[in-house]
Amino acid sequence: MEKQIQETTNLADLQALYTSVFGKNGTMTAKLRQMATLDNDARAKLNNENTRLRELFRVRQAEIENAEMMANLKKQKLDATLSPLPENRGTLHPLTHSLHEISTILESFGYTMWTGPEIEDDWHNFTALNTPAHHPARDMQDTFFMPNGNVLRTQTSAIQIRAMETHGVPIKMFGIGSTYRKEMDATHSPMFHQIEGLYVDKNITMSDLIGDVKEFLKRFFEMDDVKIRIRPSYFPFTEPSIEIDMLWQGKKWLEIMGAGMVHPNVLANCGINPNEYQGFAFGFGWDRLAMLKYNLNDIRKFYDGDVRWLKNAGF
C-alpha cells in the first residue's frame, strides 16, 4: 500500500486510492469494523496501521499539491528582468494647463474666478452689455441663436453681468468659459474660449487697467519686460474702448485683447450707480494666448482629441 501511495502522481488517483482504503467499502474500513473481535495487540497494531496510512495519504497529497504548484509556476515563467510595459500617462490639455497659469496670476492680483451658463439669454449676452436689439454691434459677432431666442454665449462678458448683478460692487473678478461664433479656419473655431477680467470700485482708472494687463502679460509669457501698444477701438459695453497689442519676440505687434472702461449704461443695467462707481474690463482669447505661449498654430487641434498631438503640445 505504501508503495502504491508513493507512486500516485495526481490528486484524482490519490483520492480514488484513499476511497479504496478508507471509503465505505474500503479495505481499512472493513478491518476497523472487526476491531471489537480483536485482542489488544491486534487492536493496537490496527490502530497504528490506520494512523500510519492516513499520514501517508496526507503527506503524499501535500507533495502532489506542491508539485502541481511548482509546475504551474514554471509554466507562468515570470522574467523579473523584462522591462515593464510602457505606461500611458495622461497629460493636461494645453487649455487646462494655461488656465492654471492664467488663474494663478489673476488670483494673485485679487481677481476671483467666475463661470456662467453657455446658453445665455439675450439680456446677459447683449442687452445688459449695452447692445440692445437692432444695435449694429450685434453683427460684430456671428451668433448661434436658439429657437426660443436664447443664444450660445458669444462672449464671456455675459459672466461679468451676472457677477455684478449677484455680487454687487466693489467687484474684482474674471470670467472664464467656452464661447461660440459662426466662424471656422486655422485661427477661428466655432467654439473657442475667452477669459475676461472686471474691476469695479470707486476710483478705478485706465492706468489700473494698463498696469494689471502689463503685469499679467509679463508673468504669463515669462518676459522681463513687456511692450504694449494701445489703439482706440469700439465695444458697446466699454467707453472708451481700446485694443491692446503686445510686441512679440521683439519684432511683431500682436493683437492680444480688447478692453476699456465699463460703460455707465452697463453699470446702471446691473443696478450700480455709475456716478459713484467706475471700472474696467478686458477680454482675450484663452486659446489664442495658449497658442502663442506654446507656439501652436492651429486652434482646431485643441478640440481634435488627438492624444499624440496633446502629448507634444509644448508645455
Of the residues 8, 98, 143, 238, which one makes contact with ligand PHE according to CB under 6 A:
238
Between 14 and 173, CB nearer to ligand PHE: 173
Contacting ligand PHE within 150-209 (CB under 6 A): 155, 157, 196
CB of 231 to ligand PHE, least distance (A): 13
If phi > 0 it is left, if psi is from -120 to 50 it is alpha, else beta; for residue 185 that is beta
Name residue, grid cell 508673468.
219
Of the residues 173, 260, 289, 296, which one makes contact with ligand PHE according to CB under 6 A:
260
Name residue, grid cell 494689471.
212
143 binds ligand PHE (CB under 6 A): no
Number of residues binding to ligand PHE, judged by CB under 6 A? 11
Neighbours of 39 (CB within 10 A): 8
Neighbours of 158 (CB within 10 A): 26
Between 28 and 281, CB nearer to ligand PHE: 281
Between 21 and 129, CB nearer to ligand PHE: 129
- Phi and psi at residue 175, to the nearest 5°: -105, 140
Contacting ligand PHE within 264-293 (CB under 6 A): 281-283
Q: Are the C-beta atoms of 99 and 286 separated by less than 8 Å?
A: yes
Q: Are the C-beta atoms of 111 and 172 separated by less than 8 Å?
A: yes
Of the residues 209, 258, 290, 291, which one makes contact with ligand PHE according to CB under 6 A:
258
Of the residues 151, 259, 266, 270, which one makes contact with ligand PHE according to CB under 6 A:
259
Q: Are the C-beta atoms of 162 and 124 separated by less than 8 Å?
A: yes
Cα 106 to Cα 88: distance, rounded to the nearest angstrom:
33
Q: Which residues bind ligand PHE (CB under 6 A)?
A: 155, 157, 196, 235, 238, 258-260, 281-283
